[in-house]
Structure 1
Amino acid sequence: MNHPINKKVLMPVMLLGSFLSILNQTILNVALPDLMEEFEIGPTTVDHWLYAGKWDFGTGDSLFDETIYY
């Protein structure tokens, strides 16, 4: 299945994705002190949890997005 790529749509979508990614990181950075206090853990542990969650979401999203077409 070879779908044509509309380049006029691709760039705004990529820019929006980049913006939302940076916004998400900013929001999570603001929440770090509250998460550390709530779970009584250090900053390194919170950072690893957030990184693992983002990696898990990104991998799952890519995997399940591709399986829709089969």
Structure 2
Amino acid sequence: MVRWAAFSCLLVPVVLVVFGTSVGGAAVPALGLVAVTAVCRLLLRRSERSVRSRRTAGNAKSQGARRGARAHD
């Protein structure tokens, strides 16, 4: 998904220049797209880490509960 965003960051300025926008005028949307892409990538990685840590914590709790149940039997 991030690869498509990076591709768009390159494609949009090229298309703008081809259709008559100045290079400086095309640079502004390009920088905006780069900024949005960077923030989205950061948030995506953060959410993946959060899910991973929840799964790890959930596995540890379920294993602890199993061990505790065995100890009482």
TM-score, normalised by the number of residues in structure 1: 0.45
Higher normalized helix content (fraction of residues): 2
TM-score, normalised by the number of residues in structure 2: 0.44
